[in-house]
Structures are given as C-alpha cells and as structure tokens.
Amino acid sequence: MDSRWMPLLAATLGVLGGVGGAFVGGSVANEGQDRRFERERAAEIQDLRLDEYSTFIGAAQEVVGKYTSGSGDAEVRAALVRLSIAQARVAFIRENAEVEEAADALVRTLGDGEGSTEQQLANYRQAADNFLGAARDEIGTTNP
C-alpha cells in the first residue's frame, strides 16, 4: 500500500470509530434514562396509591365516626357518598383485584347497618384490616 493512503485510512478509521463510540454511548445513556423514567413512574404510582388508599380509609373512618356519634341520617349519607367516591378512586388505581374486593367489602360492611353497634364495629375493623393488608401488599410490590 502506498504511504499516501495511510493518513486517509487512519482518518477514516478514526471517524468510523468516533461515530461507533458515539452510537454505543448514546444507546447506553438512553437505556439508563429509560430505566430512570420507569423508576420515577413507579414511585409516582406508589405515591398516588398511598394517597388514595389513605383517603379511602379516612372516609371509612368518617362514616364510623358519624355512626358512633349519633349523627343524623343526612350526615351519615353525606359521609357514605364521600366513601363511595374514594372507593371509585381506589378502583381506578388498584393493580390487583384483591384491593378492590377488600374496598367493596368494607363499603358493604358500613352500608348494611345490620347487627349491634359492637358487631358492626368488629365487622368494620375486620374489613378495614383486610383492605389495609391488601393495600400494603400491593404497595410493597410496586418497585420504584
């Protein structure tokens, strides 16, 4: 090979190596960015679930408070409406059906009004514990 072509060959290989290195570096950076976005999205979903599940259980506690304080029917109905809205929000963000089923059972427990006050409170506590257990399991499996 003629010595005149050596610098041209070296320059060509250098350019190709630079372009290849830039491509590989860009691909690695994009992968890292995608993983970061996925982790951030999972963290946002986890935060949303924490917020909505706590709102739901708070609304359930409000209904129990209205029942136990002897509030009027209008106040109890208004609290039950807020509970139903919170339940609908839980249904939108839940990942597994167990959470929604536990929320439904809790609402049914508060809405049936059957049995003594002590029995209703015991049923509520059981339903609330079931919901919280299902919610904790679901939130624990969300990996931010």
Cβ contact 66:79 at 8 Å:
yes
| Domain residue limits at 64 | 44-141
Cβ contact 122:109 at 8 Å:
no
Stretch 95-100: mean pLDDT: 88
Domain-located, residue 38:
no
**d(C-alpha 57, C-alpha 103), whole Å:** 9
| pLDDT band at residue 128 using 50, 70 and 90 as cut-offs | very high
**d(C-alpha 7, C-alpha 12), whole Å:** 8
Quickly tell me which residue has 């190596």 as its tokens: 17
Stretch 61-74: mean pLDDT: 85
Domain-located, residue 90:
yes
Domain-located, residue 17:
no
| pLDDT band at residue 96 using 50, 70 and 90 as cut-offs | confident
Per the structure, the count of domains in the chain is 1
Model-level pTM? Answer: 0.73
| pLDDT band at residue 122 using 50, 70 and 90 as cut-offs | confident
In sequence order, which residues have a C-beta less than 8 Å from that of residue 68 and are 6 or more positions away? 117, 121
Instruction: With a cut of 90, say whether residue 56 has pLDDT above it.
Output: yes
**d(C-alpha 31, C-alpha 51), whole Å:** 30
Domain-located, residue 24:
no
Cβ contact 67:57 at 8 Å:
no
Quickly tell me which residue has 């990942």 as its tokens: 95
Domain-located, residue 77:
yes
Domain-located, residue 26:
no
Domain-located, residue 31:
no
Domain-located, residue 113:
yes
DSSP letter at 115 equals S
